[in-house]
Amino acid sequence: MIRINPHYANLQANYLFADIARRVHAFQQRRPDVELIRLGIGDVTEPLPQACIEALHKAVDEMATTSHFRGYGPEQGYDFLREAIALHDFQERGAEISADEVFVSDGAKCDVANIQELFAADVRVAISDPVYPVYVDTNVMAGRCGAWVDDRYQNLVYLPCSATTGYAPQLPDTPVDVVYLCSPNNPTGATLTRPQLQQWVDYAAANKVLILFDAAYEAFIRDDSLPHSIFEIPGAREVAIEFRSYSKTAGFTGLRCAYTVIPKTCMGRGDDGEPVPLHTLWSRRQTTKFNGVSYPVQRAAEAVYSLSGQQQVRTLSDGYLANAQRIREVFQALGYPCTGGDHSPYIWVRTGIDAWEFFDMLLEESGVVCTPGVGFGRCGQGHVRISAFNSAAQVEAAMQRIHTVLQT
């Protein structure tokens, strides 16, 4: 008899975005005459930067020759990309990260999900509420979260994020072992300041806590005083792992390339209490379960760091941020409090009514798809997330429809 993993039964029935897809499909069946505008799931819409396209073509051509053909690459990533990452994303910002502390992968979502394999089944996990669902669901699958009671898992520690906290998580008031942080945040768009991150690093060092820091949206930060990496904070090398992605930075959602940084000084503990380098464990995990990212895709990622690549990815993020500013302006003018949209492609809108009710209203009356905040956690009730990932023309059309619906 094949017995299934019993913890899957604790997962909530519908993944948020699958539920949205079902509602949208039903609407399209009823109203095929309405042209939908999607400002929900955070997928990019603009073409890849030209520098990346050229690098991709060149690398594919190399694969057609005997002298330059590449087979299996290193599971941790090619040195040319790891060195570019260490230099441009960290060392140039004063963060002490070396190339061999970088692990290239096919997506930050995969890494954020897989990293929990390194931890004991009984570690206590803290998450923000609202939160990116992958942090929660992967720990449910591993059996860490307990039963679902009153819209929360009993064994998770929730860090409520609301308007009164600036949508930033506060330090837990109960012991934990692992904390997930995301800045700029998905879904709320809030960005942690340097003092806030220093407080978290100091807390982690004092309490032997590991911080899992998701920086997938750092390319949208425009204030030089805000940190792009947790490793810009003194002491972070001993207590943090960072995840980054080219999906939103350079439009790689269809190419798949990301990376995780694990400093060699970041330790877990064995059953005997002795320190164990997490860098070593992750390397072992990746070499066992992962065959690496393709050579052409890694060359395309390397092109992000060229002079032309940097200019082109900046243009991409500037365009999405212009969309975000327009969305935020419209909702605020209509009297809806918002956060995000300044250093983030997401705008977190306080609706004042049930989140799914607001979602359905926008869908039915304006043909615009957003994301109900309650799908990200109990504290997301009464909010929706609006994504700026669309063309300027589509965003403008959506805002005109929404303005018409909400001003009446």
Q: How many Å apart are CA 310 and CA 51, to the nearest integer?
A: 9
Same domain, 151 and 200: yes
Has residue 247 been placed in a domain? Answer: yes
Token pair for 261: 């940084």
Classify residue 217: in a domain, yes or no: yes
196 within 8 A of 168, measured Cβ to Cβ: yes
- Which 3 state secondary structure label does DSSP give 52? helix
How far apart CA 158 and CA 129 sit, in angstroms, is 6
Q: Euclidean distance between the first and final Cα of the chain, in Å? A: 60
Domain boundary among 243, 271, 306: 306
Residue where one domain finishes, among candidates 280, 306, 332 = 306
Helix (H, G, I), strand (E, B) or coil at 340: strand
For the chain, the helix, strand and coil percentages under 3-state DSSP, each to the nearest 5: 45, 15, 40
Tokens of 326: 């327009």
Taking the CA of residue 135 as centre, how many other CA atoms within 13 Å lie in the half-sphere pointing to its CB? 26
Question: Does residue 86 share a domain with residue 165?
Answer: yes
360-374 burial, b at 16+ Cβ within 10 Å, e below that, comes to: ebbbeebbbbbbbbb
| Same-domain check for residues 261 and 374 | no
Report pLDDT for 408.
Answer: 67
17 in a domain, yes or no?
yes
Domain annotation covers residue 1: no
Are both 208 and 218 inside the same structural domain? yes
> Is residue 232, in this structure, part of any structural domain at all?
yes
Q: How far is CA 257 from the centre of its chain?
A: 13
Claim to verify: residue 206 and residue 189 sit in the same structural domain:
yes
In sequence order, the β-bridge partners of residue 149 are 152
Judgement on whether residues 127 and 73 belong to the same structural domain of the protein: yes
Give the residue numbers spanning the domain of 161. Answer: 53-306
The domain spanning residue 365 has which CATH number? 3.90.1150.10
148/16 same-domain check: no
Task: Let me know whether 302 and 312 are in one domain.
Answer: no
Q: How many domains does the chain have?
A: 2
Residues of the chain where predicted confidence (pLDDT) is lower than 50: none
DSSP string, 259-271: EEE--TT-EEE-T
Contact 264, 97 (CB under 8 A): no
Residues 86, 95: Cα–Cα separation, whole Å:
9
Does 170 lie in the same domain as 26?
no
Last residue of a domain, one of 306, 321, 342: 306
Tell whether 241 and 298 lie within a shared domain.
Answer: yes
Kindly report the CATH number assigned to the domain that includes residue 75: 3.40.640.10
- According to DSSP, the β-strands at 125-129 and 157-160 are parallel
78 part of a folded domain: yes
What's the one-letter identity of residue 108?
A
Structure tokens belonging to residue 79: 């040195």
In a domain, 296, yes or no: yes
- Domain membership flag for residue 2: no
pTM attached to this predicted model: 0.96
* H helical segments located in 142-218: 194-207
Residues 152 and 28 in one domain: no
Q: What is the pLDDT of residue 360?
A: 95
Q: What is residue 249's predicted lDDT score, i.e. its pLDDT?
A: 94
> In terms of domains, do 58 and 22 share one?
no
